[in-house]
């Protein structure tokens, strides 16, 4: 009697990420608000209350369509690349891939995903920031696809990929942080023999992975938000880097706590959803 195990399907990462995004979208919205305010006036909770008071509770879900659109382009791609290659490699050579290969694969998957997801990400940032602008400056995209179409029409194809280098690099970092560290942490936790392959293990491993991912990509995230949101005050990545550096080294970690508060639950939820999808709907493999 061979034992059976279930493998992930290529689109599960996208679905799991969408599920997580629905839960963490309000945090994401607040993070963008915090990163784009010039001088620090409000902290996390203050910002949340401010948004709800001004625009109602549902305003916390502004731009959800863009967020889901981004997950379906960006996360779907990176998970599909990472998991497909990892499972292929895993079946050819006996035993799990070495960590450095996971890191390289994660970087590649994330880089590609980041590039593919740039247009959706840009519309996401713009839609979230829109309501802070005075009415005459607002872009008023009706939803994600309207936003994509209008950027394409009004600013051209190149502008859709503005910040692609940033988004790709950040995608690479997050994916290394999330996927490679998750796999590794899970291997280590299971290796102690104290815990089985259950939801506690998934929670602990994804918590560690979320922490790694947040720390790795916060500087890139700050830059990406500033570049995508800019109306041309930065000539390029290097210029943005220099301007941000003038504010001191901590400027790159501005919003680290909100970013952590957002990325850690998102990582945890994504992997818990992913493992559940795999368990119940995965491809059955009888070895």
Q: What's the token pair of residue 25?
A: 């979208």
What is residue 39's predicted lDDT score, i.e. its pLDDT?
Answer: 62
Give the separation between CA 227 and CA 11, rounded to whole angstroms.
30
What is residue 1's predicted lDDT score, i.e. its pLDDT?
Answer: 43
Burial class (CB in 10 A: 0-12, 13-18, 19+), 160: middle
Burial class (CB in 10 A: 0-12, 13-18, 19+), 214: buried
Question: Helices 12-36 and 76-92 meet at what angle, rounded to 10?
Answer: 130
Element (H, E) at 4: strand 4-7
Which residue in 149, 163, 159, 146 sits closest to 225, CA to CA?
A: 163
Count Cβ atoms below 10 Å from residue 153 Cβ, excluding itself: 8
pTM of the predicted model as reported, rounded to 2 decimal places: 0.82
- DSSP character for 22? H
With a cut of 70, which residues of the chain have pLDDT below it?
A: 1-3, 35-41, 131, 231, 287
What is residue 263's predicted lDDT score, i.e. its pLDDT?
Answer: 87
Which residue in 132, 125, 127 sits closest to 163, CA to CA?
A: 125
What is residue 130's predicted lDDT score, i.e. its pLDDT?
Answer: 78
């Amino acid at each position: 009697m061979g034992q059976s195990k279930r493998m992930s399907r290529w689109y599960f990462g996208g679905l799991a990420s969408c599920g997580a995004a629905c839960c963490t979208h309000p945090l994401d919205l607040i993070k963008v608000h915090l990163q784009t305010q010039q001088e620090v006036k409000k902290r996390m909770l203050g910002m949340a209350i401010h948004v709800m008071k001004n625009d109602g509770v549902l305003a916390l879900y502004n731009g959800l369509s863009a967020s889901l659109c981004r997950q379906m382009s960006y996360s779907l791609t990176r998970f599909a690349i990472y998991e497909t290659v990892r499972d292929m490699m895993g079946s050819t050579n006996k035993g799990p891939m070495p960590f450095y290969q996971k890191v390289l694969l994660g970087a590649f998957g994330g880089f590609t995903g980041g590039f593919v997801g740039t247009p959706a990400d840009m519309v996401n940032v713009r839609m979230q920031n829109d309501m802070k602008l005075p009415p005459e400056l607002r872009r008023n995209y009706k939803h994600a696809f309207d936003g994509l179409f209008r950027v394409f029409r009004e600013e051209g194809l190149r502008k859709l990929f503005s910040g692609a280098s940033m988004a790709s690099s950040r995608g690479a970092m997050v994916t290394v942080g999330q996927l490679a560290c998750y796999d590794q942490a899970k291997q280590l936790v299971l290796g102690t023999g104290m815990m089985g392959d259950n939801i506690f293990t998934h929670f602990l491993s994804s918590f560690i992975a979320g922490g790694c991912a947040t720390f790795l990509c916060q500087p890139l995230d700050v830059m990406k938000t500033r570049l995508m949101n800019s109306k041309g005050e930065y000539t390029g990545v290097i210029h943005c880097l220099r301007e941000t550096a003038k504010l001191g080294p901590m400027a790159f970690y501005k919003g680290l706590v909100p970013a952590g508060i957002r990325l850690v639950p998102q990582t945890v939820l994504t992997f818990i959803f992913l493992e559940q999808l795999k368990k119940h709907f995965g491809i059955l493999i009888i070895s």
